[in-house]
Structure formats: C-alpha cells, structure tokens
C-alpha cells in the first residue's frame, strides 16, 4: 500500500512518477508537490455534484459541420466525449456536415440549394450526402474518439432501422415545396444504440434515414435527427454544438445570448427565428416536450465546451427547459447554469 504518495496512479501517457528519484525523496520536495497538485483536486471535487447528477444518464451531442472548425477543436471534442463516457455518462454523438457536403458537391460541379433551411436533395445529391456523412465525417469522428480506446462505433440512421422517414415537404411563403429526398422522421428504433451504450461504446450516428419501404434513403437535418434520437432514448440532455455562442435574442443586430428559455417561451419565439437556428430550436423544443430534461445550444468553437457545460457552473450557450423546471437561484453565479440542486440539472 502506498501512503500519502503524491499520485496514487500515473496517467497512462504521463512520464513515470519520480518518487524513487533522489530529489523527490528530499523531505521538502514531496510536500511541495502535494501542494501544487491541490488545485487539480479542487477542480475534480467541484465537479462532484454534476458527476453525481449525470451518472448513468444519456447525453445526445450533435456536432454540426460548422463547429468542426479545426483539428485541435475536433480532437478536444473527442476528448470531452470520451471523458463523459469515463465519468459514467452515456454519450451518443449525432453529427452533421453541411459545409463538407457543399464542398464535395462543388468539387463535382453540383450546386447546393437550400429551401427553408433544408438542402434540396436529388438522388444524385443524396449519393454525395451519404458518401460525405457516412464515409468521411463519421469516419473521422470515430477515428478521433478511438484514439482513446476501442470506444466509438459509427452507424447511419439506416442501420438496424434506427431512423425511418417519409418524404418531407417544406413550406415557403405558405406553399408546399418539394425538396426531393429530404425526410421527416416517423420512427426511431433505439435497440442497436442502447446495446452499444450498454456495452460501454460511444455510438456515432450520421443523419440519414431509411424509407419505410426500404426503397431508398433520406437526407435528414442533423439537428432534427439528434432531437428525435434524444427523445426516443429518454436522454437527460440534448447538446447542440454550433458556430455561434447560443441563441441570440436579436440576431444579427445584437450578440446578446438568451441563456435560458422555457418551452412556452421558445414556442412564442420560434416563428421569428432565422433559418440556421430554426431546426436547432425546433429540435430543442421537440426533445424537451418529449421528456428530455434540458436541451442546449452551445458554442462548438470553444475548446472543451461540452465539459464546461456539463461539469461547471460556467455553463455557456442557451438552455431550453420544461415550463415547470425550477428556476435556479438568481444570486448564484452564472444563474442559468448554476450547480445542480434537487430537481435541477
């Protein structure tokens, strides 16, 4: 048994502890090292209420194509998700890749056209969507996560009937508009996702759905797919990572972020929102209406934004809560995301 060692167990990649070196054996050296490690212990202890609160809970994280800004951010995203998994949560990643799809279409000389915020998807476009989401973006995320161990398993909504959809029409100026192979989710089959979670894995899901007649596949907005999955899994939290700080109250005129919204407040606000935020906020609304405890839109450009959101009272972004969700103590710092108390997240 090691008593009062500066570190009971070295991190796998850390240099071997220098306990046995002559310098470390000098009486002052041990005391000083213990002292310098204390802030780390405090940070860990600060996270205890959140760790307790979220243990064993499912968190669906939507990683948007616009938030995948650089290699460092993507690596930090993967670290956060693996951290959640090792902290006893059950993270599920649903990813987008809109900009990546548009780039590939441009390379092929195909145009990207959006109506009501959704990509007009011809059968030819659908092939590119599937190739980019399942063959590139998903593979990259799975690879980044699996640098930390055999954790992530990639799937699309087609696999094991996870997502089934029917054709979705958009509405533009009050008129129905045909978007081609864009789908509206009609059923979510969570068996395969739950089995992976029970097995300690991290499912990484591309936003593509099968059609009920198995005739073809549908392009699904990734925010919508993440929200449907969060609801079907009975997730604790839906976390949408994007390229802005959260929902701006008066975008683009001001950058004042709305930190907390109830379902009723969001319902009133929704008709006024501009296109990028519409699927996100509709998704948050659907998720919370269907039992997800909180849905959050956070800034994916901030390194470790997921950990900040889950484990600290420095929560960032916009949080959507049920109407009867307890209002946090207004006197507490960062009131919208203050430390969890009974019934709070």
Ligand X SMILES: Nc1ncnc2c1ncn2[C@@H]1O[C@H](COP(=O)(O)OP(=O)(O)O)[C@@H](O)[C@H]1O
Ligand Y SMILES: CC(=O)N[C@@H](CCC(=O)OP(=O)(O)O)C(=O)O
* Contacting positions for ligand Y (CB under 6 A): 64-66, 96-98, 101, 118-119, 129, 182, 207, 219, 221-222
If binding is defined by CB under 6 A, does position 218 make contact with ligand X?
no
Q: How far is the CB of 274 from ligand X (least distance, A)?
A: 4
Residue 207 site contact among ligand Y, ligand X, none (CB < 5 to 8 Å, cut-off depends on kind): ligand Y
Q: How far is the CB of 23 from ligand X (least distance, A)?
A: 50
Q: Are 207 and 94 in contact (CB under 8 A)?
A: yes
User: Binding segment for ligand X among 23-31, 171-179, 197-205, 270-278 (CB under 6 A)?
Assistant: 270-278
If binding is defined by CB under 6 A, does position 247 make contact with ligand X?
yes
Closer residue to ligand X, CB minimum distance, 98 or 328: 98
Q: Which residues does 280 contact at the CB level (< 8 Å), separation at least 6?
A: 223, 240, 242, 247, 297
Radius of gyration over alpha carbons of the chain, in Å? Answer: 22
Binding residue (CB under 6 A) for ligand X from 127, 243, 265, 267: 243
98 is in an annotated binding site: yes
Q: How far is the CB of 100 from ligand X (least distance, A)?
A: 10
329 is in an annotated binding site: no
Closer residue to ligand X, CB minimum distance, 179 or 273: 273
Residue nearest to ligand Y (CB): 96
Which tokens hold the place of 144?
A: 């980044």
Least Cα distance to 227 among 273, 266, 155, 281 occurs for 281
Binding residues for ligand X restricted to 96-125, rule: CB under 6 A? 96, 98
97 is in an annotated binding site: yes
Helix (H) or strand (E) run with residue 218 in it: strand 217-219
Q: How far is the CB of 85 from ligand Y (least distance, A)?
A: 22
The H-assigned helical ranges of the chain are 22-25, 27-46, 48-54, 71-86, 98-107, 123-132, 138-146, 191-198, 222-233, 263-269, 277-289, 305-311
Helix (H) or strand (E) run with residue 94 in it: strand 90-95
Q: Which residues does 256 contact at the CB level (< 8 Å), separation at least 6?
A: 248, 249, 250
What is the rounded CA–CA span in Å between residue 77 and residue 305?
8
User: Binding segment for ligand X among 23-31, 65-73, 149-157, 164-172 (CB under 6 A)?
Assistant: 65-73
Handedness of CA 310, 316, 320, 326 (dihedral sign): positive
Residue 77 site contact among ligand X, ligand Y, none (CB < 5 to 8 Å, cut-off depends on kind): none
Strand-pairing partners, residue 61, are 93, 239
Closer residue to ligand X, CB minimum distance, 83 or 251: 251
Least Cα distance to 6 among 86, 51, 26, 79 occurs for 26
User: Binding segment for ligand X among 79-87, 146-154, 202-210, 269-277 (CB under 6 A)?
Assistant: 269-277
Q: How far is the CB of 173 from ligand Y (least distance, A)?
A: 19
Q: How far is the CB of 240 from ligand X (least distance, A)?
A: 7
Largest CA distance in the chain: 80
What is the rounded CA–CA span in Å between residue 249 and residue 258?
6
Site residues, ligand X (CB under 6 A): 64-67, 96, 98, 242-244, 247-248, 251, 273-274, 276-277
Residue list for the binding site for substrate:
97-98, 119, 219
Residue list for the binding site:
97-98, 119, 219
């Amino acid at each position: 048994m090691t008593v009062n060692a500066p570190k009971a167990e070295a991190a796998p990649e850390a240099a071997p502890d220098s306990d046995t070196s002559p310098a470390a054996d000098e009486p002052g050296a041990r005391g000083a090292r213990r002292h310098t490690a204390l802030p780390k212990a405090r940070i860990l202890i600060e996270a205890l209420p959140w760790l307790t609160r979220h243990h064993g809970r499912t968190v669906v994280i939507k990683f948007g194509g616009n938030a995948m800004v650089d290699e460092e951010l993507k690596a930090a995203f993967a670290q956060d998700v693996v951290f959640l998994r090792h902290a006893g949560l059950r993270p599920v990643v649903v990813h987008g890749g809109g900009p990546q799809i548009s780039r590939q279409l441009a390379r092929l000389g195909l145009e990207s056209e959006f109506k009501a915020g959704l990509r007009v998807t011809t059968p030819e476009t659908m092939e590119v969507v599937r190739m980019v989401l399942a063959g590139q973006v998903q593979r990259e995320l799975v690879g980044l996560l699996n640098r930390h161990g055999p954790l992530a398993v990639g799937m699309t909504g087609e696999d094991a009937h996870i997502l089934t959809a029917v054709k979705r029409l958009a509405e533009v100026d009050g008129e129905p508009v045909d978007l081609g192979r864009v789908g509206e989710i009609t059923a979510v089959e969570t068996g395969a996702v739950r089995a992976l979670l029970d097995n300690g894995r991290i499912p990484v899901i591309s936003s593509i759905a099968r059609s009920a007649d198995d005739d073809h596949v549908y392009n699904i907005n990734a925010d919508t797919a993440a929200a449907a999955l969060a609801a079907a899994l009975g997730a604790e939290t839906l976390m949408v990572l994007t390229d802005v700080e959260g929902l701006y109250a008066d975008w683009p005129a001001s950058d004042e972020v709305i930190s907390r919204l109830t379902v009723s407040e969001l319902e009133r606000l929704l008709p006024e929102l501009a296109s990028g935020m519409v699927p996100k906020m509709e998704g948050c609304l659907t998720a919370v209406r269907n039992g997800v405890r909180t849905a959050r839109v956070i800034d994916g450009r901030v390194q470790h934004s997921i950990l900040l959101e889950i484990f600290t009272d420095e929560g960032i972004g916009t949080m959507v809560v049920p109407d009867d969700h307890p209002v946090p103590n207004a006197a507490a710092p960062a009131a919208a995301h203050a430390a969890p108390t009974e019934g709070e997240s």
